[in-house]
Structure formats: structure tokens, C-alpha cells
Structure 1
């Protein structure tokens, strides 16, 4: 007899190891609709609390891959390489990175997702560009890779449909942080995507799902092991996420900042991480002799960005949405901005409308937080520190509550600011 949903839930709830038959059955039954959302929610919570061993996680990943089709990129003449981030606050790196690596000679099929909890989603950001569409067919993906070398889009309906359902469910059931569910979600899509190589950006810090170095390393090693076991050239960079990346957290705000980077400007931390990830991707692609920093400075990556956006129906020169209401948070005293917590900023942006409360919710494309100062910078009393953007002014109070303990200004003589740590903390190869 086939397993039942309640048997699988109880087994994991009680700390048992799920066998291959149970995993295969529950993933495919959920994909078909035979297992209800509330049952999969219970199982996801059990996995979060009880965990999965490496063999369970590998089997769960394979079941997710087998729930749909495998994208064939064998006709793409360039080496194919992708990057995936585990999610952070202000993490818009995919936007400048994809056209940059394509401008360096690789093909980058970036199948991306929407926001999870307090972290932003690449598709939500790009949909703030008038006309841009996230949904492409398999043939359209291959054609765009051949013509432009870069595509950022939603996974097709046929790629890991089990993950698409579970991804949205985890966002609204408090089960995002589970290492096995994160690892299987990421790798099922990337394996089904059909790329030759993959670089993972595993975030570590208060604004990441992995709060400390040990957790981040555990996830990075799990991801790399799954990838290697499925024939991918794969490595992971563990990067800091205790301070927002760049100066913008929110959909259109992050697109605007990404364009600044592609035009040769933008925040130094965004540029630094974009180039570091590009170097690792080009190493996998056999293009180590190309300097991504020079390509970025040349403007070629910006030209590729314009072509990539236009190929998906977007107008790269159009004005981006602006929120109807702004609220400024001022420095309470003079000194040096000592802390700016990524999680607090992410929750604030989410409450302002940049993220979702329910999986069917729409996002506000103009909502978010602009960081007008970063840790280590001098400020004076009354100086604007943060700018809150929203179409719903009543949301400001909740955002301010999230930020209340999220920043501090230190007196230079008694409470000097801590120097920002390195962006790249470790590399797993």
C-alpha cells in the first residue's frame, strides 16, 4: 500500500527518517493536488523542527526534480553558468551580475523566484519595469540565451512544479529557514535548469536565513554536495548579511540601484560582490582570463542589460514606479552610525508593501527602504538616516516598530562604530 499524508507527517513529527517511498509519494502527491496545503504545511514544519539527514535531503531533491521536466540547453554554444543566492536584504546582485557574466562570454539562464519572508525576490524587482514579463517558454529561454546570453525569468511550469508550490507555502507558514527545504528547493530548480556550472551565494548574518557561520557552512556544504552528486560544477561563497547590501531594499528601488552599478557607479559593496561572484562563475565557465571589473567599467554589461530587459518586453529606459508616500527617519544624535540591522530593514520593507503576507498577495513595486547612511559613516542630529517608501501610509507605524532597535548612533569617544566585516567570509569548493 502507498503511504498516506498523515503517516508521513507523523513519522517526521516523531523524528523518524523518511524512506525513499514516503518521500517520492508525498512530493508527487502534493504536486498532483492529492496532498492538501495544510498537510504539506504540517510536514514542512516537522522537517523544520526535526530535520533531514543528507540521504533524505538528496532523495527529496531528486523527487522535486522528477516532478517536472529537465531543461535541455545542449544547443547553447556558450558555456552555461548560473548563480543562486539564499536571500538577503537589499540583495539585488542577480540584476547586474547576469548581464555582466553574459557580457564576459558565458550564457546565464537565471531562473529566479519571488520574495520569501523579509527577503526580496528577483522577479518582484524586475516586474517593476514597465512591460517586463517573467514567464518565458523553454524555446524562448534558449533563443534569448543564444541572442543575448542572459535571461532572468520564472521557472517554466514544467520545471520542478513541486518546488513552486512548496516555495510559496513556506513563505507564509514560518518554514523558510529549514536547511533541507532550502537546499532541496534551490538545487531541484538548478538541476532541472540544465546548466553546466553553478555558484551559490550563501548569506550569513542577521538578515539571512542562516544566522551564524556554522549554519551557513552547513547549508553551503549541503548544496555543493547535492550539486556534485548530480554532475554540476559547483562552488559556494559564504557572504555577510548583517547589514543591508547597498542602500536600497525594495523592488523598484533596487532596480534603480542595479542600473547605477551597470552604468559604472552604485554602492561599493554591491560592486564588490557582483565582481567577486562573476569571477567565480567565469572560473567555472573556463573564462578566467576575462576581467569582469573591466567589462563592468566598459559599459558592455549595461548594454547587455538593456537587450535582456527589452527581449522580455520591458522598457529599460522607462521611469520606474514611485511610492505615493515617504517618511524620513532622522538621526537621534550626532556621532557615527554604529549599527544598521539587515533583518530590521528587511521587515520594515516587507511591512511597507515590498513583500507578501499571503502567497497570493501582490507587492507594491515602489515600496521599500532607502538607507541614506551606512555603518561607519558620520551623522549629525536630525540628519535623514532612512527613507521609507509606501503606497499605504498606515504601514509606516509597523515599519518604524521594526526599525526601533535596528540602528544606533554611537558617540565616537565612548562607543566607536565597528568596522564593517569582509563581504566574502568563506568559499566552499
Structure 2
């Protein structure tokens, strides 16, 4: 894998006890000033980041396998993105596109209309967060179909607003204590090959039967699904599952919405994960990596569906902020110019190489994913989810300078989301540390 140019040394360095004194002092301030519900996982306060490293206030350098939860795809301080942000801010930081428009909003819409799957006319609306994109996709689908119900899937994650919490599967920590949630949201069984043993067709037949019996196509505005589930465990559905759901939606006047917030924009080795499954969504929800760390999201889809809401029916004060739009255009350029789709596939190959010996262990049920969105599901001797091993291995990695995230409803999945700009040597070093910690705690 070709190394790129980096501003910071691409090395793991634990120079002090974790957390160090500076980070301890900052954490005391956090505990006094910040709501306790926000509980950071890294034992250090970040002061700099570049390529595949995060540097904390005490000079420790961590290998970053999180990317700000799949956000810093092009790196956390990509110079092209940083310059685009600075240049845009020198002119104006905000006007609100709904009040006084600007070209960069239109340019971002044009780029995503071109990049999302499907050879048909598309339009976009720009927003702030992934949850806001999902919520607006539902609004658009309801306006278009004149129907109300929404179907989501087991293990799905779609956000933290009231509607998207209703759509999200996992209770703690996301939903507990926050209800009641929005109604007319129904959950169908997901294809989870490791656990259900079903073919794609069998899993789709099961889901469609539930939808027809418990919801009814005549009531259903949209089906919303992550082509590769994120927080739910990086679950890749069986071949044929998604095309069958799409075909059913087409036949029943139901809008098919792909939540590509985590899996899209080169993360899975294609511009959108939907392309791995040969599907063309009606609407696509986009966020996270699109603007190189700036807050921006989109709903992009079929023009006739996107145009269903009345003029003024979509928007928001900050949606499509001009500085975020400039960052997005630069990020998309970097994804193209650095060929990050190919780089993501190289990362996948390296992950599979470094984890080959792990797959011989009884504690590893499966390695799955596409591109730079890979996961290990860990189990105990009986084959049950092993959340304890997962937590211990992740914690030990952090103490040794490798930032690891976990996921899954059972808390037993280690997920890898490195920046696609990470150098190969650093990537391999971090993966080898994770292998060592799983072995040590198994």
C-alpha cells in the first residue's frame, strides 16, 4: 500500500502513564463541566492528528482505528480539506442557503447526485447530521407516497433524535430513559448469516412476510436499511437479501432508503456499499466521511421523490453550511485523487492477512466486512457472545496506544474503521497489537 505524505510522525508512542497528567487535568474539567452522559473512551485528550495517528496532550501517539466513528476518511487534518475550510471561512462562515444561497451548496448536490448509484435523475438536500438525514428521508418518503409507516431492521442504528431512536434497535445506552418515541415504526428481521443460517432469499422472504402481515404495503412509506450495518455489528447481509427487498419495494410503491452514513463514500471499497450488492436505492442518506470532519449530511435520490415535499418543506438554519460544503468538495476530490476505494480494498486485504491466525481460535466466530469497514465477532467456549473478552481486548489496546471501537447489540464485536490515509506499517502494527491482546485475554 503506497505511503502518503504526513505532517506528523506515523508512529505509536506511549510516553507516559495513561492518562497522562495533562489529560487527567483536562478530564477533571470535563467531569465538572460536561454532562456525564458523554463519556470518552480514549485515555487522553487529543491535541493533534494526522494520517493514522492521534496525539494527546501528554505527547502520546495512538494508532487510530476509529476515524472519529468513520468520519476522518481522508485523514483528520488533510491539508487540502484544511485549506478549503480556511479559504471558505475567509469569505463568509454562514448565510443560510434558505435565505441567501451560494454555489458550493449546489456543487455538493451535483457531486453526490452523480456519485450515488442509479442512472436516473437525482436531487439532494443538505443537512447537518446523519440522524437529520434519516429523519428527512422519512419525511420525503411520506410526502411522496402519502403513507406513514416506516420499516427498519433488527440491529439497525439510525441516530439519536426522537424519530431515529425509534428506528434504532439498541436500548442501552441510546434509548434508555428517553421515550416515548415516535410511532408507526416497525422492525423486521435482518439477514445475519452467522446467526440465522439463512440464504439471502430465505431471509428476505421472512422479512417480507412480517412486513405484509404486520404492517401492510398499503400503509408503508419506506423501508430504511444500512447495506452494511454499523453499530449493530458490521453485519453483512447474505447475497440476494437486499435485491429481494428492493424488488418488493418497487412492486409495492414503497421507497427504499439506504442508510449509507457509515458504510458510504469509499469506506467499504466502493463509493457506496450498495454497489457491493447490486442495488440502486431510491434515497441515500449520507454523512460522516463526506466533509472530512465538518458537520454535513445529505439525502440524495430520485428527483421525483425528492421533489415531493412542498417548497420550504425541507431545510434548516445550518444545513449545507458553506464552510462544510467547501470541506466536502475537497474531501470528495481527495477520495478520487488518492483512489481511496482501491486503498480501502488494500486495507481489507491487510486485515485478512494479519487476522489469519486469529480465525483458527475458537473465540473468533467470524471476520466480516468490506474495505476498511471490518469486524471480528468474539464468542466463548459455548459459542455465546463474549462481551467480556471484547471489552478487555479493546481496553488493553487503548492502554498500549491503539484506539479500538466495539459494537453489536451483545457488545461482542470489535470493529475497525481506520482512516484510509493510514500507512501500511502503522496499520499492521495496530492489527498485530489487537491480535496479541485477543490471544492474551482469550
Same fold (TM over 0.5): no
Q: What's the TM-score once normalised by structure 2's chain length?
A: 0.32
Q: What's the TM-score once normalised by structure 1's chain length?
A: 0.33
| Higher RCO structure, 1 or 2 (CA under 8 Å, sep 6+) | 2
Structure with more of its chain in helix, by fraction: 1
